[in-house]
Amino acid sequence: MVLTIFNAVKRVLVGKPFRNDRLAHTLLPKRIALPIFASDALSSVAYAPDEILLTLALAGVSAVAIAPWVGLAVMVVLLTVVASYRQNVHAYPSGGGDYEIANVNLGKYAGLTVASALLVDYVLTVAVSMSSAATYLTTAVPSLHGQQAAIATTGVVILALVNLRGIKEAGSVFAVPTYIFMASILGMTAVGVFQAATGQLGQAPSAAFEIVPEPGFDEGLVGLAGAFLLLRAFSSGAAALTGVEAISNGVPNFQKPKSKNAATTLLLLGVIASAMLAGIIYLANATKVHIVLDPATEFLLNGKPLEEGYIQNPAISQIAQTVFGSGSIPFYIVVAATGVILVFASNTAFNGFPVLGSILAQDGYLPRQLRTRGDRLAFSNGVLALAAGALVLIIAFNADVTKLIQLYIVGVFISFTMSQLGMIRHWGRELKLSKEPAVRRRIIKSRTINTVGFFMTALVLVIVLITKFSQGAWIALLAMFVLFLIMWSIRAHYDNVAKELAVDEDSSPRALPTRVHAVLLVSHVRKPVLRALAYARASRPSRLDAITVDISPEETEATVADWEKLEIPVPLTVLASPFRETVTPIMEYIKNMRRDSPRDLIVVYIPEYVVGKWWEQLVHNQTALRIKTRLHFESGVMVCSVPWQLKSSEEEAKKLQDIQ
Amino acid sequence: MVLTIFNAVKRVLVGKPFRNDRLAHTLLPKRIALPIFASDALSSVAYAPDEILLTLALAGVSAVAIAPWVGLAVMVVLLTVVASYRQNVHAYPSGGGDYEIANVNLGKYAGLTVASALLVDYVLTVAVSMSSAATYLTTAVPSLHGQQAAIATTGVVILALVNLRGIKEAGSVFAVPTYIFMASILGMTAVGVFQAATGQLGQAPSAAFEIVPEPGFDEGLVGLAGAFLLLRAFSSGAAALTGVEAISNGVPNFQKPKSKNAATTLLLLGVIASAMLAGIIYLANATKVHIVLDPATEFLLNGKPLEEGYIQNPAISQIAQTVFGSGSIPFYIVVAATGVILVFASNTAFNGFPVLGSILAQDGYLPRQLRTRGDRLAFSNGVLALAAGALVLIIAFNADVTKLIQLYIVGVFISFTMSQLGMIRHWGRELKLSKEPAVRRRIIKSRTINTVGFFMTALVLVIVLITKFSQGAWIALLAMFVLFLIMWSIRAHYDNVAKELAVDEDSSPRALPTRVHAVLLVSHVRKPVLRALAYARASRPSRLDAITVDISPEETEATVADWEKLEIPVPLTVLASPFRETVTPIMEYIKNMRRDSPRDLIVVYIPEYVVGKWWEQLVHNQTALRIKTRLHFESGVMVCSVPWQLKSSEEEAKKLQDIQ
């Protein structure tokens, strides 16, 4: 069967399933936890500075000089958010994700809003990070330029397969590249600062280009339009904050004292991320890295447009070229480390998305089957959904990081804001429960920090909404809205079903149907029919009838003759079929029985052939399937399939056993 | 559900189902039977003369003059075949089609060969006739030129829909256009002959063109190549014979004396078809209709190639222009009548194909579900298969009649030849049974006619194979071979299954399983589970166990607590699930039961939700479905689905009832 092939392929690609116990807590020391949870947050320096620079460049070269101030504003927000999440970590040592904090403290609609935002953001994390990784790969291997979409697509597919195999085994693999990335960026910053101090710092490859400002920005960042552009640059730079919340989800994985260690790690993350961001933006400014949306129209060299074929490299790559020299080994290390960390950042989404999906399924917002974990401790369905979403985005936006960023940050700040609001509520409740002054003081301090965090993130959310809505954020918002509706409907459906099916006073677990009326469907008198007959008789029904539908007179005659010859002690009724159709006469017969004795239970025994090959399905059981579907709509009717395993099914059964 | 939409659409397009009784014999008088059965055979004069002319034209204008002789040869074969089939009609008054004659007299392999050939030929009849009809439409409406494939495609789709509605109601509709067609072609011939006699017959529009012969044919039809071309022209002209066998299938529909009336009608058909073919070829010759494969390269006017945009019209159209004048009313009548008759010819395939399909399904060569007639007395599956095949051919060959003809005739002559061979056998057997000299003389006469028919058609088959194989006949032969293999495999499969399942000494219709061990699958304690419990208890098993799989400890606890609270008198076993998986623990539990008491019958009761909307299927029953599939591979295990009809299913149930 097709399923078998699929399963076999899956087994080869994905490996054997894990046992539950292997999930058991492998508690992480801070030095391992930091790289595991930090790759998403740290990796955003690979694209956030570029977005600030190219947005400001719309107002010409003078505006680009403001980049460090924009960077500073982003850093302030980043450190505020880190401080806020340190409070979350202390409040929810069991690992309260933003969804749970909003759900518990603000109610299910808030929770569902955050969940929708997070799901969309996970998809965007994969799309943005893989697209950016593809760009860094083309920086190192220029001949691949123009193939970013294909590279990113391949990357997502590989990552999905790796995650279907189960990712926990790769735990410590994360540590090394993340540390290499930190070391290379911070090292580059140190060398660059030293060169600048000694007057040896060179000029970036793009330093010589003049920037043609957009119409209306000839005088730089002035007026309302200038302010708006500044805010847009800030919004884009805020992409640096994505992934900060990861540690707060992972508190249970830390060594004891969990909360304290997690909070310390979070602080470390904030400091390192800020330092890297500051370093990149400082060096970009010092080496005059010029980055624009469209080099062909916005750059001039000696007053003339650039020659065709100019490839604009990201800021980190240009800085590495300037500090270490193009083609030098340190240059390749920086670029490679950045590319790798971006892939790892995508991978954090592959960890987070299925976990969130299973929590949502547990809460009834997604289909139940997503709740149980798939093979190898990974939630296969979630992995597949995430990969599919990311692939759609990458292909739709041709792996263009700048375009994808416009969709990105809105979801992050929706969940930041909601989560902080939830934390304010949380501390308010805690405050009511506590009398001890020292504890109350600590709670009030935490609440103050979360309040500052709330206003800060809410302000950024408003700025992001204003500056990004028409740029693409509407797509992300629409996707969230649709997800919200879907999940809300699924939950409403499950609630309705649960209400409809709840055991009430009327439902007695001891009531039995008065009589059982068994009906055996007969086509030919063959072994499967005899087996079904035996099974039907073994259940000792009050009454047992065999029925056959008269499609072809000759065959019916043969069936009746065989029936009599075997002296089967059950009457065989022949149903007329004016439409030469099997299902309707049977349905009418059953319905008549229901009408005659509505309190009886009717049990329909259907002999079925169990076959081995997919095409055998096409030539058998089609009618049985249609009858079963129709019978299921009749209340008081139970359908018993009596399988007869054809020899060809044995091999298939063995295969199924090997697989599962 | 999707099915519902499909059914609703089908109902609107196809109408209500017919009752069986409406099939009852509406016996046809000869004057109605002739047009009903003759449209296929008569319509081939719309393209057969053209194929003769354009094949001969490859050897230049002198070769074209030989066309009447080729036509005469085709007529001789035609009349021989008619004479032969008159014997078939007498021998099989119950309507022995070629398949049945071959099957009965030559064995199942011969029968299957003929069946394959006929199926392929039905598809080709539709493709060729509709493509030719499209050409005639563009003759009348030149602005449609180049759109033939689209027109033919649309035609096939419409015809398929009409046939899905059931065609019998249209019976006498056939008569009028067929008689108009006969009258217009024979009338045109009469007028043309009169004009020729009185010296008033004009020249065809293409008479003035010189024909550039193919390289190697500069001296006309000489040598081996010339002979080969002559045979090719004859093979193409033999397309005129397609459809002659139709009457022999339809004998039971004739008024009494059936055989005699059918034989007379067949003779009439032969005479009329010959007369029309003779008329068209005579007039094409007399008016110097020149038809070539590629007008752009093969035609010269005053020594120069034709201007671009010359549209080559079929012979009948050119003759009608010459005899009646271009744009005159009789011209349009001839062209329109030809187009309509071609559509009717396609339609005969839509009648024949599903009938043959259901006969083959009855004999076990096609899946059983094709055997029962679909709604409205038409065999819906066959109609759909035929339409799909014809559409593939029309699109693949861009509705090019000349190319399609190359595939066509081989199948027809395979079935002619086999059928005649079968008839020789038949008469041989009859001869052995009969002593009476008068009867014996009649049998010997019939056998002689069929023997002549056999040799004639076998000769033509050889000619067709030699001249057409590389031209496209190999495609048709390959398709027949594939169909043969498929049908042979299906039959072999059914035979094996029947052998495997036949009731033998070991299978006693009175043996019962020693004990019945019932197992109830529980997920939550809800009404459906209580219903399943009641049904399970009502069947009074020797032992009844309830089992639940421990996926989430909290839910399992709740289930156990509910179970105890209701004081359900059945033990609930909790199965551990180290892989957080539902199916495997249940399967292992059942297998252990089988091992412990292999002679017991195990009945697994599965509560199932019956839902109304397709998406509800996605959020329910997925696990139940997987469990059922796995359980079916276990022998000694019966699965009972206990349906619980959710409220949303009521509407769906009503819809299903309205439809079926």
Residue-wise pLDDT for B601-652, tens only, equals: 999 999 988 887 777 777 776 778 888 888 888 888 889 988 888 887 777 7
Is the CB of B645 less than 8 angstroms away from the CB of A630?
A: no
A472: left (phi over 0), alpha (psi -120 to 50) or beta: left
Whether A448 and A546 share a structural domain: no
Give the model confidence (pLDDT) of B2-30 as tens digits.
Answer: 444 445 445 444 444 444 444 444 677 88
Shortest alpha-carbon distance between residue B610 and chain A (Å): 7
Residue B478 lies in a domain: yes
Would you say the ipTM is above 0.95?
Answer: no
Q: Does B528 touch chain A (CB under 8 A)?
A: yes
Residue A22 lies in a domain: no
A25-39, A172-186, B573-587: segment of lowest average pLDDT: A25-39
* Residue A325 per-residue DSSP state: -
Residue A9 lies in a domain: no
Predicted local confidence at residue B656, as pLDDT: 62
Residues of A in contact with B631 (CB under 8 A): 643
Predicted local confidence at residue B347, as pLDDT: 86
Give the model confidence (pLDDT) of B472-494 as tens digits.
Answer: 889 999 999 999 999 999 999 88
Residues in chain A: 660
Closest CA to B185 of B49, B269, B279, B270: B279
Q: Which of B525, B577, B623 sits opposite A369 (nearest CB)?
A: B623
Q: How confident is the model at residue A22 (pLDDT cuts 50, 70, 90)?
A: very low
At residue A520, does pLDDT exceed 80? yes
Is the CB of A580 less than 8 angstroms away from the CB of B538?
A: no
Q: Does B558 touch chain A (CB under 8 A)?
A: no
Q: Does A638 touch chain B (CB under 8 A)?
A: yes
Residues of B in contact with A21 (CB under 8 A): 578
Closest CA to B320 of B201, B209, B233, B210: B201
Q: How confident is the model at residue A347 (pLDDT cuts 50, 70, 90)?
A: confident
Cβ atoms < 10 Å from Cβ of B263: 23
Closest CA to A61 of A382, A346, A285: A285
State how many domains chain A has: 2
Q: What is the mean pLDDT of chain A?
A: 85
At residue A627, does pLDDT exceed 90? no
Predicted local confidence at residue B96, as pLDDT: 67
Q: What is the 3-state secondary structure (H, E, C) of A403-419?
A: HHHHHHHHHHHHHHHHH
Give the model confidence (pLDDT) of A562-599 as tens digits.
Answer: 999 888 889 999 999 876 778 888 999 999 998 988 88
Sheet strands (E) in A302-399: 304-305
Is the CB of A562 less than 8 angstroms away from the CB of B494?
A: no
Predicted local confidence at residue B538, as pLDDT: 86
B649 is in which domain, residue-wise? Answer: 516-659
What's the helix, strand, coil split of chain B in %, to 5?
A: 70, 5, 25
Whether B423 and B543 share a structural domain: no
Q: How confident is the model at residue A363 (pLDDT cuts 50, 70, 90)?
A: confident
Residue that terminates a domain, selected from A493, A526, A549: A493
Is the CB of A633 less than 8 angstroms away from the CB of B647?
A: no
Whether B332 and B218 share a structural domain: yes
Cβ burial of B186 (10 Å; 0-12, 13-18, 19+) is middle
At residue A240, does pLDDT exceed 60? yes
Q: Which of B508, B513, B608 sits opposite A538 (nearest CB)?
A: B513
Residue B500 lies in a domain: no
Q: Does A567 touch chain B (CB under 8 A)?
A: yes
Q: How confident is the model at residue A350 (pLDDT cuts 50, 70, 90)?
A: confident
Q: Does A21 touch chain B (CB under 8 A)?
A: yes
Say how many CB pairs under 8 Å bridge A and B.
225
Q: How confident is the model at residue A651 (pLDDT cuts 50, 70, 90)?
A: confident
Whether B250 and B399 share a structural domain: yes
Q: Does B553 touch chain A (CB under 8 A)?
A: no
At residue B91, does pLDDT exceed 80? yes
At residue A18, does pLDDT exceed 70? no
Whether A537 and A416 share a structural domain: no
Q: How confident is the model at residue B385 (pLDDT cuts 50, 70, 90)?
A: confident
Give the model confidence (pLDDT) of B495-544 as tens digits.
Answer: 888 888 888 777 776 777 878 899 999 988 888 899 899 889 888 888 99
At residue A379, does pLDDT exceed 70? no
Q: Which of B510, B564, B656 to mutate to test binding with chain A, by most A CBs within 10 Å of its CB? A: B510
Residues of A in contact with B18 (CB under 8 A): 579
Give the span between the Cα atoms of B212 and B227, in whole angstroms.
19
Q: Does B295 touch chain A (CB under 8 A)?
A: no
- Cβ(B241)–Cβ(B81) below 8 Å: yes
Whether A420 and A534 share a structural domain: no
Q: How confident is the model at residue A389 (pLDDT cuts 50, 70, 90)?
A: very high
CATH of the domain at A458: 1.20.1740.10
Helix (H, G, I), strand (E, B) or coil at A512: coil
Q: Which of A500, A580, A629, A657 to mutate to test binding with chain B, by most B CBs within 10 Å of its CB? A: A580
Whether B262 and B348 share a structural domain: yes
Host H or E run for residue A520: strand A516-521
Q: Does B165 touch chain A (CB under 8 A)?
A: no
Residue type for position A434: S
Whether A413 and A523 share a structural domain: no
Residue B9 lies in a domain: yes
Predicted local confidence at residue A388, as pLDDT: 93
Q: How confident is the model at residue B1 (pLDDT cuts 50, 70, 90)?
A: very low
At residue A600, does pLDDT exceed 50? yes
Helix (H, G, I), strand (E, B) or coil at A383: helix
Q: Please spell the DSSP secondary structure of B67-80, one letter per residue.
A: HHHHHHHHHHHHHH
B80-89, B173-182, B231-240: segment of lowest average pLDDT: B173-182
What's the helix, strand, coil split of chain A in %, to 5?
A: 70, 5, 25
Residue A98 lies in a domain: yes
CATH of the domain at B527: 3.40.50
Whether B467 and B525 share a structural domain: no
Whether B325 and B397 share a structural domain: yes
User: Which of residues A432 and A250 earns the better pLDDT score?
Assistant: A432
Whether B381 and B470 share a structural domain: yes
Q: Which of B19, B371, B628 sits opposite A579 (nearest CB)?
A: B19
Give the model confidence (pLDDT) of A40-51 as tens digits.
Answer: 889 999 999 999
Q: Does B493 touch chain A (CB under 8 A)?
A: yes
Radius of gyration of chain A (CA): 33
Q: Does A475 touch chain B (CB under 8 A)?
A: no
Q: Which of B641, B648, B655 to mutate to test binding with chain A, by most A CBs within 10 Å of its CB? A: B641
Shortest alpha-carbon distance between residue B297 and chain A (Å): 46
Is the CB of A608 less than 8 angstroms away from the CB of B372?
A: no
Average pLDDT on A66-81 reads 93
Is the CB of A640 less than 8 angstroms away from the CB of B603?
A: yes
Average pLDDT on B123-132 reads 94
Residue identified by tokens 């080709």 is: B124
Predicted local confidence at residue B171, as pLDDT: 56
Cis omega before residue A509 (within 30°)? no
Residue B501 lies in a domain: no
- Cβ(B59)–Cβ(B217) below 8 Å: yes
Average pLDDT on A218-230 reads 83
Whether B98 and B193 share a structural domain: yes
Predicted local confidence at residue A23, as pLDDT: 42
pLDDT over 70, % of chain A: 91
Average pLDDT on B343-350 reads 88
CA–CA distance from A177 to each of A169, A313, A350 (Å)? 16, 22, 18
Give the span between the Cα atoms of B159 and B130, in whole angstroms.
10
Residue that terminates a domain, selected from A462, A493, A524: A493
Q: Which of B507, B535, B619 sits opposite A638 (nearest CB)?
A: B535
The pTM assigned to this predicted structure is 0.70
At residue A500, does pLDDT exceed 90? no
Shortest alpha-carbon distance between residue A526 and chain B (Å): 5
Give the span between the Cα atoms of B524 and A503, in whole angstroms.
10
Is the CB of A660 less than 8 angstroms away from the CB of B18?
A: no
Predicted local confidence at residue A566, as pLDDT: 86
Residue B481 lies in a domain: yes
Q: Does B232 touch chain A (CB under 8 A)?
A: no
